[in-house]
Structure 1
Amino acid sequence: MNNTKSLLTDSCESYNQSHLLLLSAKTEFILDKLSDNVAKFIKENSQINIADLAYSLQTNQQEFDYRRMLVCRDIKDAIHLLTNRDSERVFSQSTQGSPNTVVFMFPGLGEQYINMAQQLYQFEPTFRQHIIHCSEILKPLLGVDVREILYPKGTKIEPNSQANSLIADISSTFNLRQMLRRTQVEVDTNAQKLNQTDIAQPALFVIEYALAQMWMVWGVKPQMLIGYSLGEYVAACLAGVLSLEDALTLVVKRSQLIQSLPTGAMLAVALSELEIQPILTEGIYLSALNGPTLSVIAGSVEAVAKLEQQLISDGIACRQIQTSHAFHSPTMEEILEPFIELVKTFNLKSPKIPYISNVTGKWITAEEATDPNYWGQHLCQPVRFADGLETLLEVPGHILLEVGPGQTLGSITLQHPANTKINQPLVLSSLPNYYSNQSEFAFVLNTLGKLWLTGLSINWFDFYNQQHCRTLALPADLFEAQQKEVEPKQEESSSDRLFLKEQDFSEVTQHERLRLNLQNSYVAPRNNIERKIVEIWQQIFNLKQIGVYDNFFNLGGHSLIAIQMINKIRQNLKLEISLGTIFTNLNVADLATFVAKELLIENNTSQQEDLEALSAISHQIDTDKQVVNWLNYKLINGLEIFHQNKAETEHFYEDIYENRVYAKNGITFNPGDYIFDVGANIGLFTLFADQECDNATIYTFEPSPPTFNILKANTSKCRGNIKLFNCGLSNVDKTITLTFYPNSSGMSSFYPNEEEEKQVLKAIILNKKQAGMLEMEQVLQYTDELLEERFKSQSFNCSVRTISGIIEENNVKRIDMLKIDVQKSEFDVLLGINEHDWPKIRQIVIEVHDESNRLAQVNFLLKAKGYDVLIEQDNLYAATNIHNVYAVRNLMM
């Protein structure tokens, strides 16, 4: 592991910030050991290029049955995931008994959106090549370059932009997810065009075709196909029924014929084919059968709107579909004859890849595929997708890959009753849905990794497409020694068997088979809110055991199921939430956190049982009738703490532990040091200082009562002598009002200036964007709403003391390190030091807010007291008034 020099040469020039790490071993035990050893190797060689490591593990590792995959952002993230094995992001599976027949599923209209697959278009050569080729074919047909509609100018993603989960982290503070609802997004001209059928259909075809070509080049080749509505045209093209040029031409001319018809509407309804018959009045038609109790109706805009109101009043779940016409209904018959004549002009051939017919729900025959009248039936008759799934799932062992935007078909498939069979299919997606904050490339890598888990062979050479990557000189014993490990005898867990031996499959229950295909570990609900939501999910999904990190779509969720959840949450928790809330909080843990925060906001009017339900997800600290959340969190270094929000904690951790902001520019820690932590917040600096020096005595000050309680819990883990003070420090002893921000506790202040603090956060967001964080562009669109949420405040009357008073009261002989981070009170703290106490203080680090020439005043004061002073501004705080001041006593004076 000391071959560091060779690890740093000829690095992979990765254009993205997501990396797929793969591990395999002979047994589950050895796989865990291998994960630990790779994490250790990365720690000891932290200079390596993470892209080179990913490439090396993908191409230079012997493949065994027991497999693990994860998608990480960087070295730090890789170490964290390999060490902690986050159930939401680390997936494991045995190839024994895994499904192995790949089926491509092509969706129809309804999930398209501006900039879908934009990252792939910009950075994935195969996908881009086919988009360009299709666009050139379409230009004379459409009179426009479809790329100009899909990817409007001004939305370019630059190489090396950081596509990560930052928005998800920030959303825990800002409630961004709630704000990213489709109804709140301004619809621009291009979005309107993309909803017109004559543009939407060819545009969606192009995306799905390019995705299919990308997957096949990477080695993911389908043995079967199924499409939904327009998706059957993509399937027919891929199967060879139509050439690409003919398929695009037919799709365009078909959509232009449809565009000439009067507009219409479609409604998804939670009713069976039999149950829906009585409501099929004049002008309302059955358009699709997606499941035993999941139908789609179509008709005029007025008739559908009237029926929707009637269904809602009857308590029947329904939702309008994003569409311009009443597809697959008799309203299409006006164009039937010219359409059939159009199809006759094309050379239709027998399919070379089997695919399911929407018209019959059976495998299409050569006669049907080549008959223009069949395509006329396809235009006017209902889509029998549920029947098609029944046919497809008669034979077990499928990997169903949705090739298009969103996860609608996968969700419908997972809810189909054919999945009661033991051999349930593995359902995966190619692109995130509209509401997702996840990077598209990270999403694709997750899917690729899950395909590899099943034993599928990936063509890594074409995946990298001649990109220059170096195979790292990984130590031989990193892998070889692990395969020789003797596995200890241990009891098998009955609650969650991720790895099942081949002979065990005859005994697998339906629940266990589902858990296996989810590929993530089961995590039980940990508090009352999570338990309540798990009960709701289990009832709706008809499953016995759902974990808090199981994904809504992976369980088979779709819009009507989301509506049922909304109703259940309203009934059981007395809370109104939106459809967007479900689609942006896709597991129980995230949804429970959202629900808890909403209930806490409404706690003044909530019933007592609501507050009791909150008690397990949040320690309720009731001070002046104000409530603050406690959340459990595991730091990258393995230390478990309590905190209030992830984004702020990760910022503190990066500053203190990784950037070592308090251990640089001449600042040192020694055994037995006396340290003052002024403005301790939740205690990360106190924990750091306790780790840095043995037998330390640390005086820790935090005025906010809610934060102090968290600080008290966190510092109970310290080894040294920790003295806690629930007060602030100032120039005199007094009581003063603290403005406390529950969603941004680190900015709480005795000198609140909300507008200034908002400007600071705006600058930080811009600085993150300039540093290459892709999602900041989207965050900037919602800055005002985000800041409004973040700066909701509470007030506390807090006592403040002086440093000299504390020194005298506790007979402090020396202060080896004085850390001050008190949001504009820093000069007051310094003024509270009597002249005879200054020589006792060896080192000082202060965050200074440069108001009214404050930075110069602090600099002058410290130099006058005999310190060498260095002033530094972190890049994150560029264009703000925040600086760090480092002062070390000049021993020559």
Structure 2
Amino acid sequence: MGGVNAHVIVEEPPQVERGAVVVQDSHLVRVTGADERAVRELAAAYADHLTAVPDADPGDFARTVNTGRAAQRWTTAVHGTGRAELAARLTEIADGTTQPVRSAGRHVTAFLYTGQGSQYAGMARRLLTTEPHFRDALHECADLLAPHLDVPLLDLLHGDARHLLDETRYAQPAVVSVEVALTRLLAEAGVRPDTVAGHSLGELTAAWAAGVLALPDLLRLTAVRGALMQGRSTDGTMAVVHTGTATLTEALRNHPGVEIAAYNGRTHTVTGPEQDVARFCEESPYRTQRLTVSHAFHSAAMEPAVRPFAEAVAGTALRAPELPFADTLTGDWHTAATATDPQRWADAIRRPVRFAQALTTLAGEGPHVVWEIGPHPQLLPMARTVLAEPHPVWVPTLHRERNDQVQLHAALAAHHRATGAELDWAALHAGKNQRTTTAPTYPFARQELTAPPARRATANAVSHPLFDHPYEHRSEAE
């Protein structure tokens, strides 16, 4: 055969067009190593790099170190709004101010879902622009709610209809949608609940998180619930009372129009007609705080909404909970029977919320971290007064006075440091068009090993065929 000339041409691959970078308000950086020393050394190297390279993009840097390094036995995480803040917090790891934790085994994470009253105009707006997973989930909620609301969800949250969030029929779907999007975002990041509870409206979202009902049904029922409650008398109000259950029950004997709406631990919420609640607050020896609400929720005024809501739930496919789910109507665990009972969900509109009892039940699972899933923390302050020491780590997802992504990254960092559990770092950077860049290499633990003198002498005196050069070895036959 004749010879065949083959030519191989090697050249650089074509450059991939980089999409528009999603501008971030905050950056989350993990530091992981085989031991504490390695974590501190790597954190110092990271801090030096961010300080010494003025054009280092913190988003690219975070993506590189978070997704390009395998998880080690020891780990921690910090967050910052830019290079300077990240470098400062990395330095706190390097000097021992922030301690790494050893990657742990199983830990228990609890989710508490906030109820109505946590809403405000513009809630979670920055997550809509900085977190693709949150954006996608919120848009899905908007599409599912479109047949049930006369105002688009995004207009309610961030558009010209924001003033309508004070109305119950709009507030309830808005709060639940934000909670759903937060839960989806956390799941993508690798944070999922092992046990759940919710306060009033929040118990519906908790039911979805526990697998009791599907997302389309959750949003439909939330819209129905809000509209039914909106249609009730508006001459009622509510107030927080700072006292125990027994003393409050005794005090209400002289105020028959006022009821307990929620048992929240050291504080309780009372509800009833405006004039009755006002008189109770004036005459009460206990500290009271009037709430800005449109209705007397969980009172006799809500009775007309019970039957129609039971009928709406009866047409919904309900399933047994897939994880421990605390029942705030009884204070015990939900069972397959309670979770799938339409009348139980309707009664929750009228009857008081036994949040303190349900929280005590949930505490029996031994949660290491308790997240509040909602626009603003309302449940964690109450939970601190209910649960005994040692407390779990309390983690709010959002806070009205803080930047949304900064608060979220602070929460994720706290969760990671508390549990040592790995987050899904690739998912946290997905869709943000960040690229791989230069980062300090891992500080390997180099150690020079020298045999004791006696062993060195023995080794030098004994020749072994395995250590002879193969071409210098000669057999006896040669």
TM-score (norm 2): 0.82
Tell me by how many angstroms 1:114 deviates: 0.3
Asked if the contact 1:24/1:64 (under 8 Å) is kept, the reply is yes
Counterparts of 1:386-397 in structure 2, within 5 Å, are: 386-397=356-367
* Rounded Cα–Cα distance in structure 1 between residues aligned with 2:327 and 2:414: 28
> What is the letter of the counterpart of residue 425 of structure 1?
P
2:422 is equivalent to residue 470 of structure 1: no
**Which residue of 114, 123, 128 maps to 1:121?**
128
2:396 is equivalent to residue 429 of structure 1: yes
- The answer for the alignment partner of 2:301 in structure 1 is 331
2:250 is equivalent to residue 278 of structure 1: yes
**Which residue of 391, 405, 429 maps to 1:441?**
405
Counterparts of 1:437-836 in structure 2, within 5 Å, are: 438-453=402-417, 454-476=419-441, 478-481=442-445
Q: Which digits, 9 at most, give the CA deviation of each residue in 1:382-432, with x for residues without a partner?
A: 11111111111113243211111112212222221x322x4x322211111
Tell me by how many angstroms 1:14 deviates: 4.3
Tell me by how many angstroms 1:91 deviates: 5.0
Question: Cα 1:15–1:462, aligned 2, differ >3 Å: closer, same or farther?
Answer: same
- The answer for the alignment partner of 1:134 in structure 2 is 141
Secondary structure at the aligned position of 1:474 is classed as coil
**Which residue of 231, 238, 243 maps to 1:266?**
238
* Rounded Cα–Cα distance in structure 2 between residues aligned with 1:258 and 1:467: 41
> What is the letter of the counterpart of residue 363 of structure 2?
L
Return 5+ residue gaps in structure 1 as ranges.
Answer: 1-8, 154-188, 486-893
* Rounded Cα–Cα distance in structure 2 between residues aligned with 1:206 and 1:270: 31
- The answer for the alignment partner of 1:582 in structure 2 is none
- The answer for the alignment partner of 2:279 in structure 1 is 306
Tell me by how many angstroms 1:30 deviates: 4.4
Asked if the contact 1:69/1:91 (under 8 Å) is kept, the reply is no
Tell me by how many angstroms 1:474 deviates: 3.0
**Which residue of 391, 407, 414 maps to 2:384?**
414
> What is the letter of the counterpart of residue 329 of structure 1?
S
Tell me by how many angstroms 1:215 deviates: 0.9
Asked if the contact 1:109/1:323 (under 8 Å) is kept, the reply is no
Corresponding residue pairs, total: 427
2:340 is equivalent to residue 381 of structure 1: no
- % same residue: 28
- The answer for the alignment partner of 2:209 in structure 1 is 238
2:25 is equivalent to residue 17 of structure 1: yes
Asked if the contact 1:287/1:381 (under 8 Å) is kept, the reply is yes
Asked if the contact 1:110/1:321 (under 8 Å) is kept, the reply is no
Question: Cα 1:318–1:96, aligned 2, differ >3 Å: closer, same or farther?
Answer: farther
- The answer for the alignment partner of 1:343 in structure 2 is 313
Question: Cα 1:52–1:198, aligned 2, differ >3 Å: closer, same or farther?
Answer: same
* Rounded Cα–Cα distance in structure 2 between residues aligned with 1:96 and 1:76: 28
Q: Which digits, 9 at most, give the CA deviation of each residue in 1:572-630, with x for residues without a partner?
A: xxxxxxxxxxxxxxxxxxxxxxxxxxxxxxxxxxxxxxxxxxxxxxxxxxxxxxxxxxx
Tell me by how many angstroms 1:134 deviates: 1.6
Return 5+ residue gaps in structure 2 as ranges.
Answer: 1-16, 449-478
* Rounded Cα–Cα distance in structure 2 between residues aligned with 1:260 and 1:112: 20
> What is the letter of the counterpart of residue 146 of structure 1?
L
* Rounded Cα–Cα distance in structure 2 between residues aligned with 1:209 and 1:290: 24
Counterparts of 1:13-52 in structure 2, within 5 Å, are: 13-52=21-60
Tell me by how many angstroms 1:98 deviates: 8.5
* Rounded Cα–Cα distance in structure 2 between residues aligned with 1:368 and 1:29: 52
> What is the letter of the counterpart of residue 273 of structure 2?
S
* Rounded Cα–Cα distance in structure 2 between residues aligned with 1:248 and 1:13: 32
* Rounded Cα–Cα distance in structure 2 between residues aligned with 1:12 and 1:415: 47
* Rounded Cα–Cα distance in structure 1 between residues aligned with 2:229 and 2:20: 49
- The answer for the alignment partner of 1:227 in structure 2 is 198
- The answer for the alignment partner of 1:67 in structure 2 is 75
**Which residue of 183, 203, 207 maps to 2:174?**
203
Q: Which digits, 9 at most, give the CA deviation of each residue in 1:696-722, with x for residues without a partner?
A: xxxxxxxxxxxxxxxxxxxxxxxxxxx
TM-score (norm 1): 0.45
Secondary structure at the aligned position of 2:388 is classed as helix
Asked if the contact 1:288/1:382 (under 8 Å) is kept, the reply is yes
* Rounded Cα–Cα distance in structure 2 between residues aligned with 1:143 and 1:12: 34
Secondary structure at the aligned position of 1:140 is classed as coil
* Rounded Cα–Cα distance in structure 2 between residues aligned with 1:484 and 1:307: 74
Secondary structure at the aligned position of 2:318 is classed as coil
> What is the letter of the counterpart of residue 44 of structure 2?
D
Q: Which digits, 9 at most, give the CA deviation of each residue in 1:765-804, with x for residues without a partner?
A: xxxxxxxxxxxxxxxxxxxxxxxxxxxxxxxxxxxxxxxx
Tell me by how many angstroms 1:231 deviates: 0.7
Asked if the contact 1:99/1:426 (under 8 Å) is kept, the reply is no
> What is the letter of the counterpart of residue 388 of structure 2?
N
Tell me by how many angstroms 1:217 deviates: 1.6
**Which residue of 252, 262, 265 maps to 1:288?**
262
Tell me by how many angstroms 1:204 deviates: 0.7
Asked if the contact 1:99/1:397 (under 8 Å) is kept, the reply is no
Question: Cα 1:472–1:12, aligned 2, differ >3 Å: closer, same or farther?
Answer: farther
Asked if the contact 1:332/1:379 (under 8 Å) is kept, the reply is yes
Asked if the contact 1:69/1:92 (under 8 Å) is kept, the reply is no
Tell me by how many angstroms 1:450 deviates: 1.9
- The answer for the alignment partner of 1:173 in structure 2 is none
Asked if the contact 2:111/2:372 (under 8 Å) is kept, the reply is yes
Q: Which digits, 9 at most, give the CA deviation of each residue in 1:286-315, with x for residues without a partner?
A: 111111x2211111122222222333xx3x
- The answer for the alignment partner of 1:102 in structure 2 is 109
Tell me by how many angstroms 1:93 deviates: 4.5
Tell me by how many angstroms 1:360 deviates: 1.0
* Rounded Cα–Cα distance in structure 2 between residues aligned with 1:270 and 1:99: 37
Greater Cα offset, 299-308 or 269-278: 299-308
Tell me by how many angstroms 1:26 deviates: 4.3
> What is the letter of the counterpart of residue 274 of structure 1?
A
Q: Which digits, 9 at most, give the CA deviation of each residue in 1:451-495, with x for residues without a partner?
A: 22222222222222243333334343x4324x879xxxxxxxxxx
More relative contact order, 1 or 2 (CA 8 Å, 6+ apart):
2
